[in-house]
Amino acid sequence: MRRYIERGLVHLLLLAGASLFLLPLIWMLSTALKPIEQTMSIPPTWIPYQYFVTRGGESVPVRLGESIDVPSCVVRRKDTGARLLVPRSALSNGALRQSTPQGVETLVPIEVLKDIAASPDTVWVRVMPENLPSSEWDVAEVGNIVRRVAPRWENFGRAIAAMKYFPAYLMNTLLLCVLTVVGAVFSSALAAYGFSRINWPGRNKVFILALATMMIPFPVLMVPMYCLFRWLGWIGTLRPLWVGSFFAGAFNVFLLRQFFMTLPKDLSEAARIDGCGEFRIFWQITLPLCRPALMVVGLFQFMFTWNDFLGPLIYLTDQKDFTLALGLQFFQSQHGGTEWHYLMAAGLLVALPIIVLFFFTQRSFVEGISMTGVKG
């Protein structure tokens, strides 16, 4: 009995925690699918909705304006042509009584378009048809208005349009991802092979040096690297962001070496006896056996490049060269603070590919992360 209570409690705690972790993401999606006015309601709306009015047998999406609770008229001013909503008491003989700020009363000639008999039973509401200029508002009976769930998927397209260079950001990011993944996997596999499958004097001492370089914080390297790339004339190009990956980062080498060490020695010995060259052993025997580990390195590198913010911020100068991460931050600094729905849609677009990638490669991911921690 106690066991069951305990187990129930554990599940309850975990579920509560899990909903706390999930809620921000649901909120993000919910915001991304709302029209702007629903992002700013108290209490919040979770499910985006839309009001519709049936007109001529057709359902027209509308926004609600103020409700009309006194007998009123929709009128058109004959002089300016503007549509007005006025209480019936303000009309006399086809004219609208208006008083100027000085208190002088004037009569404005008008044409009555619609007479609204508001009563306790039928309340009218001013409605704004979507996608029409706001001067085209109309009125509708409350009974004729329906509210339906209506996620605005078009927000994603609008966010892309508002970001201006989104396709360029995406292409730059993908290009960098491909280059850095190829560079990191290839170069760190070579180096890891040299650190594990060939026995040369001083190997372990050099490897400890490689591990030690991981301690150096990026800010220490940041300024001289900037100067180096500036001297090469590479500032404002993508080159500083991928060239480095072809020179075996210590972390990736470390990961792969761990894996290479587990392969049996006889494997390469047999090939060597057959007169196989070392590079062929590496390329044709070792690498195919290491696919899972190479996958982990490739995935981590992809994630790193996709997420990197400081690098692009330092090296890129032209908006057309930005990556998604930098482009999103740029968008936030330009449009943030009001257009929450577009900002969240843009954020989701940047996050979604990584999340999708994760679901397809979950096993490598989890194995890789466990590998970094447990065998570290």
Partner 1 sequence: MTRIERRNLFLGLAFISPWIVGLLVFTLYPVGASLFFSFCDYDVLQKPVWVGALNYRDMFTDEVFWKSLYNTLYFAAFALPLGLVASILTAVLLNRAVAGRSVLRTIYFLPSLVPVVAGAVLWWWILNGRFGLLNHALRIVGIDGPQWLADENWTKPSLVLMSLWGIGNSVVIYLAALQDVPRSLYESADIDGASAWTKLRHITLPLISPVIYFNLIMGIIGSLQVFAQPYVMLGGGGPNRSALFYAVYLFQNAFQYRQMGYACAMAWILFLIILFLTWLATHTSRKHIYYAGQ
How many other β-carbons are positioned within 10 Å of the β-carbon of residue 103? 6
Q: Rank residues 52 and 254 by Cβ distance to partner 1 and give the closer one.
A: 254
**Smallest distance from partner 1 to CB 373, Å:** 3
Considering the complex, state which of residue 72 and residue 368 has its C-beta at the smaller distance from partner 1: 368
Residue 145 · residue 122 · CB < 8 Å: no
What's the closest the beta carbon of residue 70 comes to partner 1, in angstroms?
Answer: 33
Q: Which is nearer to partner 1, 128 or 324 (CB)?
A: 324
Strands 95-99 and 105-116: what pairing? Answer: antiparallel
> To the nearest whole angstrom, how small is the minimum distance from the Cβ of residue 78 to partner 1?
43
Among residues 19, 24, 65, 17, the alpha carbon closest in space to that of 46 is found at 24
Smallest distance, partner 1 to C-beta of residue 374, A: 5
The 3-state secondary structure of 54-77, one letter per residue: EECCEEEEEEEEEEECCCEEEEEE
How many Å apart are CA 237 and CA 224, to the nearest integer?
Answer: 17
Q: Which is nearer to partner 1, 21 or 66 (CB)?
A: 21
Residues ≥6 apart with Cβ < 8 Å to 336: 343
Query: How many CB atoms are located within 10 Å of the residue 224 CB?
Result: 9
Shortest approach of partner 1 to residue 93 CB, angstroms? 48
Q: Which is nearer to partner 1, 41 or 100 (CB)?
A: 41
* Least gap, CB of 92 to partner 1 (angstroms): 44
- Closer residue to partner 1 (CB): 21 or 133: 21
| Least distance (Å) between residue 59 CB and partner 1 | 29
- Is 53 or 287 the residue whose CB approaches partner 1 more closely? 287
Q: Which residue number, 96 or 290, has a Cβ lying nearer to partner 1?
A: 290
Residue 11 Cα distances to 20, 167, 246, 266, angstroms: 14, 44, 46, 48
Contact 174, 335 (CB under 8 A): no
**Locate tokens 């990956």: which residue?**
245
CA angle, corner 56, sides to 55 and 60, nearest 5? 35
Work out how close the CB of 230 gets to partner 1 at its nearest, in angstroms, rounded to a whole number.
7
User: What is the DSSP code string of 178-224?
Assistant: HHHHHHHHHHHHHHHHHHHTS--TTHHHHHHHHHHHTTS-HHHHHHH
